[in-house]
Structure 1
Amino acid sequence: MVRIILVRHGETEWNAAGRFQGQEDTQLSRLGRQQGQQLAQALQDVPLQAVIASPLQRAAVTAGFCAAAHGLPVHTDRRLLEINHGRWEGMTAAEVQEQYKELFLQWHRAPHTVQMPGGESLADMQVRIREAMREYCRQYERQTVLIVAHDAVNKVAVCSALGLPLQAFWQIKQDNTCINVLEYDRDCWRLVLLNSVAHRGGLFIAEEQKGL
């Protein structure tokens, strides 16, 4: 059995502003760094054997807080990169809605049908995420692995693990530094925990981020 603790990075200034980040290499905000430290504290007694992160700073730095508490290095994997939003990257949700009205509406109603202008689709992402998860399950048998990635990456990973269609993308919420736990055993995935933010001081986060 492999246990994967899948988390999202801490907040960035672009998260707070509702900007589409995609593969832009944005940094954690001051609050995001605090969230990363809270996450590390929450996981300090969990026996981890490996820490893997997206190479984007917001994920790698969040992972670094957790890895340091366990004396582990952070391994990066480009397959965990956030979805490439193409020409939407750097734009606010309001700007995208104004310039790409129909496609923006389609993204929120039928995300599985959207090809980002100059970027990826969810199906494109799913190919690389599934490949990475299969590899982790082979490589880390009987171990617990921390994976620090991104909003869309985590949603697609959860959909893939549970056999859900990509149409279910918006039915999964991923707050900054949320904790998800997945277990893989005998060719079967099991969801143990989803979007836990108790380490941030509450049962849930009421705010909705717009640049997704």
Structure 2
Amino acid sequence: MEASRATPTPTATLRFTLLRHGQSTWNAQGRLQGSTDAACLTPKGIEQAKDAAARLRDTHFHAMVHSPLRRAADTAAIVWGERAGPKHALHDLRELDLHSWEGALKTEAAARDPGAYAAWKDRPAAFQLDGRRPVCDLWRRARSVWRALLDPGGALRGSLGPAQGAPSVLLVAHQGMNKALISTALGLEEDAFRSLPQANSAYTCLDIGLGQQPGIHSVTVVCLNQGPIHNILAGISTTTSGLLVLLARAADADEQERTAAAVAQALGLEGPSWQTPQASEDAADLPGSILSLAATDDGPTLVCLDAGGVEALLHACLGTRPEAVRWARQPGTLTVLQFEAKGDAMRPVVHCANCVLQG
């Protein structure tokens, strides 16, 4: 279900907190899980789930919906704790189907089907396996999940919370499924599959405004891939060009400096060296000027700018439409972007957005 082209005043707003499960045994082994249910949480994954529970301890949820697969269901149980309210396992929330690859090491799948594996990594919309298009199938399933959750008469809509106010729903699933849910809400197509990674036990908050007709009418991304900074940055090469760390300017200069120092430490840098664009710089030129820094710098580029500039940059990178999608403007938060060269183009990867520094 995609953001509508017109944006009428919402008749109701729901907040969805999309959480990825903790590390599983097959995550740790580098196996392709797909929608199999053979893996379970590792001890590290259990601790990650407990950490997520602590971070969300004070959040009130009206309901929880989760994938039936064990790694997600067990994470959901830990995070939900003793809360009251309806809980639903939804089959369509399972991870994407990887058919004959499921259970194989990633290296085995790459050696067995090099062409398909290359498409899986670089051209997800064109990726075919066993006569199916797994990422396209996942997008269709994500839209069906939104229909069940949001449409009048949807299978779960009536149990998610009061018709008025702002019901809050915890949704626990998988990296691929959560990426598809976020992308379809933002109006992004299947090629965005590699642009929005979701770390184990990290969560994304979306405020979704509903109109009188079925469908999503407006979306505010409150935070994207919120979690401990070392989890978010794990696996990101800090020596290659294209890594851009944005700090939304805070009113408290001391707090801003502390955040800068913590980020620099997490990146293994000697110390923070934030570049601050001039306030007089034309907002229309801001995304291009900042992206040029990321393209030419040999290491991470750390940029401090106002929250409106962060929002403009995210719109420019992902192609989200300001009339239907809003990136929340939150001073003092972090946004981490990376630009991967793919032929003549640069693919943006949003590792996190509007996130509060944690751990």
| Same fold at TM > 0.5 | yes
1:196 maps to 226
**1:101-149, CA deviations, whole angstroms, 9 ceiling, x for partnerless residues?**
1110111110111133266521212222212123222423431000000
Q: CA deviation at 1:53?
A: 0.5
Q: 1:94 to 1:77 in 2, by over 3 A?
A: same
Q: CA deviation at 1:160?
A: 0.4
Q: CA deviation at 1:203?
A: 7.0
Q: Counterparts in 2 of 1:27-106, with a 5 A limit? A: 27-72=40-85, 74-106=87-119
Q: Counterparts in 2 of 1:106-145, with a 5 A limit? A: 106-117=119-130, 121-138=134-151, 139=157, 140=160, 141=163, 142-145=166-169
Work out the CA distance in 1 between the residues paired with 2:133 and 2:68: 18
Q: 1:72 to 1:61 in 2, by over 3 A?
A: farther
Of the two structures, which has the highest relative contact order with CA contacts closer than 8 Å and spacing of 6 or more? 1
Q: 1:72 to 1:41 in 2, by over 3 A?
A: farther
Q: Sequence identity of aligned pairs in percent?
A: 31
1:12 maps to 24
Can you give the 5+ residue segments of structure 1 that lack an aligned partner in the other structure?
Answer: none
| 1:157 lines up with 2:181 in the alignment | yes
Secondary structure of 1:204's counterpart equals helix
Structural RMSD (CA): 1.7
Work out the CA distance in 2 between the residues paired with 1:116 and 1:193: 33
| 1:147 lines up with 2:175 in the alignment | no
Can you give the 5+ residue segments of structure 2 that lack an aligned partner in the other structure?
Answer: 1-12, 152-156, 211-216, 237-359
Work out the CA distance in 1 between the residues paired with 2:21 and 2:131: 25
Secondary structure of 1:168's counterpart equals helix
Q: Say which is worse superposed, 122-131 or 157-166, in terms of deviation.
A: 122-131
Radius of gyration: which is bigger? Answer: 2
The code of the aligned residue for 1:191 comes to V
Runs of 4+ off more than 4 Å: none
Are the aligned partners of 1:159 and 1:168 in contact in 2 as well (CA < 8 Å)? yes
Query: What is the TM-score normalised by the length of structure 1?
Result: 0.91
Are the aligned partners of 2:92 and 2:145 in contact in 1 as well (CA < 8 Å)? yes
Query: What is the TM-score normalised by the length of structure 2?
Result: 0.55
Q: Counterparts in 2 of 1:156-175, with a 5 A limit? A: 156-175=180-199
Are the aligned partners of 1:40 and 1:69 in contact in 2 as well (CA < 8 Å)? no
The code of the aligned residue for 1:99 comes to R
How many residue pairs get matched?
206
